[in-house]
Amino acid sequence: MNRTAVPAGAAALAVAVAALTGCERGSSAGPAPSPATPARSGCPAVLARAEAAVRQAERTDAAWDGPVTGPRAVFGRSLVLVAQSMTNPGVAGVAAGVQEAASVIGWDVRVIDGQGTPAGIQAAFGQAVALRPAGIVIAGFDPHLTSQQVAQAGAEHIPLIGWHAVASPGPSRDPALFTNVTTRVGDVARISADWVIAHAHGVAGVVVFTDASIPFARNKSDLITKELGTCAGVRLLAEENIPLPDTSSRTPQEVSSLLSRFPERWTHSVAINDVYFADAAPALRAARRKGAGAPFNIGAGDGDPSAFQRINSRQFQAATVPEALSEQGWQIVDEFNRAFAGRPASGYVAPVHVATAANSGGATSWDPPGYRAAYRRIWGGPAPAD
């Protein structure tokens, strides 16, 4: 993740383990054809499927497919959101969504900043439990890093809801979460690879950027490479292992090396987080690469404002798979309302979206239509159009 939300608490974990890993490189055998002459796809059937998936994911007018029924608002509750770091744009975005939704349903919200360190997050969580709120949001960090505080919350019968707290969406037994709000990592990985296949017309040379010190990130990049491998015309040139805390210092050097190794064959990149492309841009610019030219880059996660800015200005990033941060904040509030009413979690998982300069409308975030009105109707309030 950029210096933004890392799924399943990866940002907090990265702080603790970043120093343990180095750079792993790998390349597939054989050259990748240049996209300058994409006369024939290397995978016609896969290409057709990828193009259809990307068309669907790029839509901005899809109807709301989330909950339309549920308990009416339970009034007079308070929440505490424990943030991995409020300098993390993903965490800050979902916190703003929680605050907005809470103001509609009539609840109080307090945000406590963990400041991006394990000790800070543990202290923030302890402070949250001491406040005895109706519910606590675990925003952007692994609850296993705060197992003592999680146990304290359980003893106080305070329901916990995660945002990117564990790898999968939905309820969790270990750690005990009423639910976890996130997209499915497999869906994000697949659509990122499909975008490359579709954009390249099935003929590409690809570099994948990952952080192998974080199991969630490693799994995501493995899924990306697996999907890329379904197209015979796509070659994996290298997999660059750069720990997230080291992206600013190491990515420019690695990109310069890649440009030397694959000056023509490197046509596309996929990164587990947009931050790699923020740090790749200086090296690409120094090599006199065009911002709107190859390598065409897609971030498989977050879609923070800086990623949208690079995409909209066509500066070394062509696409991202953004989280709908505000929508997820509203979902968190709705899930708490279900918990307070003794109902099960909604089970809703937002579909993946691909943002490009062609469909972003100049926005710096992905804010799909329909969810505000839907949740207002569920809670029993007025439901003006979004």
Please write the tens of the pLDDT for every residue from 14-61. 433 333 333 333 333 333 444 444 446 779 999 999 999 999 999 999
Query: 252-302 pLDDT, tens per residue?
Result: 999 999 999 999 999 999 999 999 999 999 999 999 999 999 999 999 988
**pLDDT mean over 62-80:** 96
Question: Looking at residues 215-237, what average pLDDT do you find?
Answer: 95
Q: Model-level pTM?
A: 0.85
Average pLDDT over residues 113-137: 96
| d(C-alpha 345, C-alpha 245), whole Å | 34
Listed in sequence order, the DSSP H helices in the chain are 10-17, 44-57, 89-105, 118-130, 147-155, 185-199, 215-228, 247-261, 275-286, 305-312, 325-340, 371-379
Average the pLDDT over 334-339 and give the result. 98
118 phi/psi in degrees, rounded to 5: -55, -45
d(CA 308, CA 277): 12
Q: Tens digit of pLDDT for each residue in 179-197? A: 999 999 999 999 999 999 9
Do β-strands 204-210 and 160-163 pair in parallel, antiparallel, or remain unpaired? unpaired
Name which of 131, 134, 175 is nearest 158 in CA terms.
134
State the pLDDT at residue 10: 40
Tokens of 131: 């406040």
Structural contact between residues 266 and 237, judged by C-beta atoms closer than 8 angstroms: yes
Supply the pLDDT for residue 307: 96
Q: Which residue has the higher pLDDT, 17 or 214?
A: 214
The pLDDT confidence band at residue 386, using thresholds 50, 70 and 90, is low
For residue 5, is pLDDT > 60?
Answer: no
pLDDT in tens, 362-383: 999 999 999 999 999 999 965 4
User: Does the structure show a pLDDT above 90 at 213?
Assistant: no
**The token pair that represents 176 in the structure block:** 């005990």
For residue 346, what pLDDT band results from cuts at 50, 70 and 90?
A: very high
Tallying the residues shown for the chain, one arrives at 386
Tell which residue, 329, 333, 326, has the closest CA to residue 367: 326
Of 95-99, 129-133, 163-167, which gets the smallest average pLDDT?
Answer: 163-167
Percent of the chain with pLDDT over 90: 83
Taking alpha carbons only, the member of 83, 53, 92, 58 closest to residue 306 is 92
Distance CA 93, CA 4 (A): 10
